[in-house]
């Protein structure tokens, strides 16, 4: 089975498991974003990802392994609680399997969230930042290998990878939202201070280990993508403190609810 066939099969199973053949919006909730799910709408079904096929078991603390089908007004939202990362040893096709499944299940809008290190001066821990563009520093792509020309093009244009229309919608809900460029490293180690300076020189405002391959896969299938980074630490060498995963999760939990409500308002205005 190719990754595209696997995602089509998972989309079918998702329809059966949720009793809903088509969903409209996918939301991927990263590290510490669990509380945001409660804000989106009425939970209609919750399905363990392993039941859908194609998903590896989650390994990192703070990452769940279910997808919720949520009724939000007249929209049906798929909220993934947890995601798959390259640093767990998975291939790009596994990292983007959830997003592909969601888009093939009907989602024309994909909202990606993550926790990130802040690089740009002025960004504060606990601040949510709209992703305006990205740097793929992983050296990997989810589009390598045989393409399904009926599903998406061989060569994908990423000029508007992060939808200007959706960003404008988000800023209409919260005019105080700042935008930034998200740089994705493969991890799992955090950067050295020299690598953070390199990313800054390349134009990065935020640094993390997720989201970018999912954006590429969603754009390939023609979905519109919106993204939020929650700054949960300042990148290495910027605060004079060492980075600690527990601290990262605590900071994320505090702000997740606020940003969850913001996502709900954006979904209502799509
Ligand atoms: I949260 O400082 C979080 N994720 N690469 N660097 C990278 N990923 C992160 C960081 C960070 N903080």
CA–CA distance from 265 to each of 174, 243, 258, 262 (Å)?
Answer: 10, 33, 11, 5
- Reported as a single tens digit per residue, the pLDDT across 12-59 is 999 999 998 999 999 999 877 877 888 899 999 999 999 999 998 755
* pTM, two decimal places: 0.92
Q: What is the model's pLDDT at position 59?
A: 57
CA–CA distance from 232 to each of 63, 199, 222 (Å)?
Answer: 16, 18, 31
The residue ranking higher by pLDDT, 259 or 47, is: 47
Cα of 233 from ligand 1 centre, angstroms: 7
Cα of 130 from ligand 1 centre, angstroms: 16
Verify whether ligand 1 is closer than 6 Å to residue 190 (CB atom): yes
Verify whether ligand 1 is closer than 6 Å to residue 101 (CB atom): no
**Using CA atoms in the order 265, 39, 106, 66, what is the torsion angle rounded to 10 degrees?**
160
Rounded CA-CA distance 64/15 in Å is 21
Rounded CA-CA distance 267/40 in Å is 8
Rounded CA-CA distance 9/42 in Å is 26
Verify whether ligand 1 is closer than 6 Å to residue 187 (CB atom): yes
What's the token pair of residue 266?
A: 């954006």
- Reported as a single tens digit per residue, the pLDDT across 116-133 is 999 999 888 888 899 999
In sequence order, what E strands does 73-165 have? 75-81, 109-118, 128-136
Residue given tokens 């002025």 in the structure block = 122
Rounded CA-CA distance 68/42 in Å is 10
- Reported as a single tens digit per residue, the pLDDT across 126-159 is 888 999 999 999 999 999 999 999 999 999 999 9
Cα of 112 from ligand 1 centre, angstroms: 16
CA–CA distance from 206 to each of 14, 17, 55 (Å)?
Answer: 33, 37, 27
Domains of the chain as residue ranges with CATH:
3-268 (3.40.50.1580)
- pLDDT classification of 251: cutoffs 50, 70, 90: low
């Amino acid at each position: 089975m190719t990754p595209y066939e696997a995602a089509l099969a998972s989309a079918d199973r998702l329809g059966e498991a949720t009793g809903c053949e088509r969903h409209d919006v996918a939301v991927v909730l990263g590290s510490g974003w669990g509380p945001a799910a409660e804000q989106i709408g009425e939970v209609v079904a919750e399905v363990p990802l392993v039941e859908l096929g194609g998903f590896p078991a989650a390994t990192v603390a703070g990452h769940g392994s279910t997808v919720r089908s949520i009724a939000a007004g007249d929209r049906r939202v798929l909220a993934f609680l947890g995601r798959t990362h390259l640093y767990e040893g998975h291939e790009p096709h596994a990292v983007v399997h959830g997003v592909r499944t969601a888009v093939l299940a009907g989602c024309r809008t994909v909202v990606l969230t993550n926790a990130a290190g802040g690089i740009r001066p002025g960004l504060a821990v606990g601040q949510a930042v709209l992703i305006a563009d990205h740097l793929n520093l992983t050296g990997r792509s989810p589009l390598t290998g045989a393409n399904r020309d009926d599903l998406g093009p061989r060569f994908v244009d990423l000029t508007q990878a992060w939808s200007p229309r959706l960003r404008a919608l988000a800023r209409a809900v919260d005019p105080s939202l700042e935008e930034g460029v998200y740089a994705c490293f493969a991890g799992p180690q955090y950067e050295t201070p020299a690598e953070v300076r390199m990313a800054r020189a390349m134009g990065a405002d935020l640094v993390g280990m997720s989201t970018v391959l999912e954006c590429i896969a969603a754009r390939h299938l023609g979905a519109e993508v919106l993204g939020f980074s929650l700054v949960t630490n300042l990148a290495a060498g910027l605060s004079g403190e060492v980075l600690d995963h527990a601290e990262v999760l605590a900071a994320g939990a505090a702000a997740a609810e606020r940003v969850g409500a913001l996502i709900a308002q954006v979904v209502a205005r799509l």
